Amino acid sequence: MARDATQVRDFSEGYVFFAPLGTTLPTSINSILALVETPGSWTSVGYISEDGLTMTPERSVDDIKAWANRATVRTVQTAYDFKFSFSMLETNADSIELWQGDPDGIVSTTPEHFAWVILGTDGDEAIAWTVEDGQPSEPQELGLGSGTGTMYGVTVKTFPGDNGYNANGPYSTIDSIS
């Protein structure tokens, strides 16, 4: 397999947008990039730092054993989850609400479900995914120190949309991906 340094990308910085559940998702990289300048019905959580954007697919599997439990003959997928995490650098009502569940205080109620757009950038290149249904599920530790600034970290659990996918994409400015 050939290795080409021009294909190495670091899409860790970028933007995250959310909108009410049922909002029509953008379907091209150009319509996603346009959200940065004109978000319309989408709310931007602000700039996401290079330390703050991760995506995690999780698959659970079970091994099917042959008679007398001697050897694995098949592996079946029993569950699938997809989560994405980001750290918001801006302190505003939206970042606080996504982090703690309510703008007025930390609450024990279940956070709302939203539609999401995750946009990673690397210079002039971009890659993005859309999520029809995602719910903030795991607030991360809030550091109030002066070294890195305050980062409101949130993990969003996704659920299958009408098409059966937890996330759509990638949409990209790189021809070999999109």
Residue 1 counted as domain residue? no
pLDDT in tens, the chain (178 residues): 446 656 666 666 788 999 999 999 999 999 999 998 999 999 988 777 666 677 788 888 888 888 877 788 888 887 778 888 888 877 788 888 888 777 677 766 778 899 999 998 877 888 899 999 999 887 777 777 666 677 788 889 999 999 988 999 888 887 666 4
Residue 136 counted as domain residue? yes
> Cα 170 to the chain's mean position, in Å?
12
Ordered DSSP codes for 105-126: S---SPPPPEEEEEEEEETTEE
Residue 3 counted as domain residue? no
Residue 4 counted as domain residue? no
Place of tokens 């049922």: 22
Residue 42 counted as domain residue? yes
Nearest to 91 by CA among 38, 40, 152: 152
How many structural domains are present in the chain? 1
Cβ–Cβ < 8 Å for 143, 150: yes
Residue 97 counted as domain residue? yes
Report the C-alpha gap between 47 and 44 in whole angstroms: 8
Report the C-alpha gap between 78 and 175 in whole angstroms: 34
Residue 137 counted as domain residue? yes
Residue 162 counted as domain residue? yes
Domain range holding 147? 9-172
